[in-house]
Structure 1
Amino acid sequence: MKTLLYGVGVLTFLLAAGYVSAGERPISDCGERIENDGYPMEEHTVTTDDSYILTMHRIPYSKKTGPTGDRPVVFLMHGMLSSSSDWVLMGPGKALAYILSDAGYDVWMGNARGNTYSKKHKYWPTYWQIFWNFSWHEIGIYDVPNMIDYILKYTKKSQLQYVGHSQGTTVYLVMMSERPEYNNKIKSAHLLGPAAYMGNMKSPLTRAFAPILGQPNAMVELCGSMEFMPSNQFKQDMGIATCQATSPYAEMCANEIFLIGGYDSEQLDRDLLEHIKATSPAGASVNQNLHFCQEHNSKKFRKFDYSVIRNPYEYGTMYPPNYKIKNALAPVMLYYGANDWMCDLKDVLQLRDELPNVHLDYLVEFPKWAHLDFIWGTEAKKYVYDKVLEMMIDYE
Structure 2
Amino acid sequence: MAAELMMRYMLQKNHIYNVAAIAYWSLEIAVASHEDDLGKTTVEMARDKGYKVEEHQIWTKDGYGITIHRIINESVSSSEGPPVIFGVPLFSESAGFVLQDKHNSMGYYCADQGLDVWLGNNRGSPFGRRHRTLRPQEDAFWDFSIIEHAIDLRAIVDYTLNFTGFPQTYYVGVSQGSVIATTLLSMVPSYNSRFALLAFFGAFRTTKHIAEYTQQIALYFKLFTGGSQKIQSGFKNGPVLTNSGGLSRFCHLAPRICGFLAESLNYRCVDKFRIDVMLEHFPTGTSVKNMAYYLQLSKPDAPRLFDYGSVENRRRYGNITHEVTGESGVPPPLKAELITAPIGLYFSHGDTVTPLKEFQDLRKGLPNIRYTYEITDQPTYGHVCYVTNRTNDAMYRNFTEEFKKIPIKKVN
Does residue 337 of structure 2 align to residue 326 of structure 1? yes
Aligned to 2:365: 354
Q: Give CA deviations for 1:288-334 in whole Å, capped at 9, x if unaligned.
A: 11111221244621221212332222232322222111111111111
Q: Describe the shift of the 1:256–1:62 C-alpha distance in structure 2 as closer, same or farther (beyond 3 A).
A: farther
Within 5 Å, which residues of 2 pair with 1:66-77? 68-77=78-87
Q: Describe the shift of the 1:294–1:122 C-alpha distance in structure 2 as closer, same or farther (beyond 3 A).
A: same
Letter in 1 for 2:102: P
Aligned to 2:386: 374
Query: 2:97, 2:105 within 8 Å by CA — same for their partners in 1?
Result: yes
Does residue 97 of structure 2 align to residue 87 of structure 1? yes
Aligned to 2:294: 292
Q: Give CA deviations for 1:176-231 in whole Å, capped at 9, x if unaligned.
A: 001111111110011111121211127x64453346647423103xxx62111112
Query: 1:28, 1:279 within 8 Å by CA — same for their partners in 2?
Result: no
Letter in 1 for 2:279: K
Does residue 311 of structure 2 align to residue 309 of structure 1? yes
Aligned to 1:209: 217
Q: Please give the secondary structure, in 2, of the residue aligned with 1:363.
A: strand
Q: Which runs of 5+ in 1 are unaligned?
A: 1-9, 240-254
Shift of 1:352: 1.4
**2:398 alignment partner, one of 387, 390, 394:** 387
**2:129 alignment partner, one of 97, 114, 119:** 119
Query: 2:73, 2:111 within 8 Å by CA — same for their partners in 1?
Result: yes
Q: Describe the shift of the 1:259–1:143 C-alpha distance in structure 2 as closer, same or farther (beyond 3 A).
A: closer
Does residue 168 of structure 2 align to residue 159 of structure 1? yes
Q: Please give the secondary structure, in 1, of the residue aligned with 2:298.
A: helix
Query: 2:80, 2:114 within 8 Å by CA — same for their partners in 1?
Result: no
**1:78 alignment partner, one of 77, 81, 88:** 88
Does residue 144 of structure 2 align to residue 134 of structure 1? yes
Aligned to 1:227: 239
**2:285 alignment partner, one of 270, 283, 286:** 283
Q: Describe the shift of the 1:154–1:63 C-alpha distance in structure 2 as closer, same or farther (beyond 3 A).
A: closer
Q: Give CA deviations for 1:63-97 in whole Å, capped at 9, x if unaligned.
A: 542x5114111111101110000110112111011
Q: Please give the secondary structure, in 2, of the residue aligned with 1:270.
A: coil
Does residue 58 of structure 2 align to residue 50 of structure 1? no
Within 5 Å, which residues of 2 pair with 1:88-107? 88-107=98-117
Aligned to 2:227: none
Query: 1:197, 1:348 within 8 Å by CA — same for their partners in 2?
Result: no
Q: TM-score, normalised by structure 1?
A: 0.83
Q: TM-score, normalised by structure 2?
A: 0.80
Does residue 78 of structure 2 align to residue 40 of structure 1? no
Shift of 1:260: 4.2
Q: What is the root-mean-square deviation in Å for CA atoms of aligned residues? A: 2.8
Q: Give CA deviations for 1:326-349 in whole Å, capped at 9, x if unaligned.
A: 111111111111122221211221
Aligned to 1:181: 190
Aligned to 1:337: 348
Q: Describe the shift of the 1:52–1:342 C-alpha distance in structure 2 as closer, same or farther (beyond 3 A).
A: same
Aligned to 1:266: 268
How many residues were matched structurally? Answer: 357
Shift of 1:58: 0.3
Query: For the residues of structure 1 that align with 2:193 and 2:264, how far apart are their CA atoms?
Result: 36
Q: Which runs of 5+ in 2 are unaligned?
A: 1-19, 225-229, 249-256, 321-328, 408-412
Aligned to 2:153: 144
Aligned to 2:178: 169
Does residue 220 of structure 2 align to residue 218 of structure 1? no
Query: 2:269, 2:384 within 8 Å by CA — same for their partners in 1?
Result: no
Shift of 1:20: 5.8
Q: Describe the shift of the 1:207–1:162 C-alpha distance in structure 2 as closer, same or farther (beyond 3 A).
A: same
Query: For the residues of structure 1 that align with 2:215 and 2:355, how far apart are their CA atoms?
Result: 13
Query: 1:205, 1:259 within 8 Å by CA — same for their partners in 2?
Result: no
Q: Give CA deviations for 1:129-148 in whole Å, capped at 9, x if unaligned.
A: 111101110111x1101111
Does residue 31 of structure 2 align to residue 21 of structure 1? yes
Query: For the residues of structure 1 that align with 2:75 and 2:165, how far apart are their CA atoms?
Result: 24
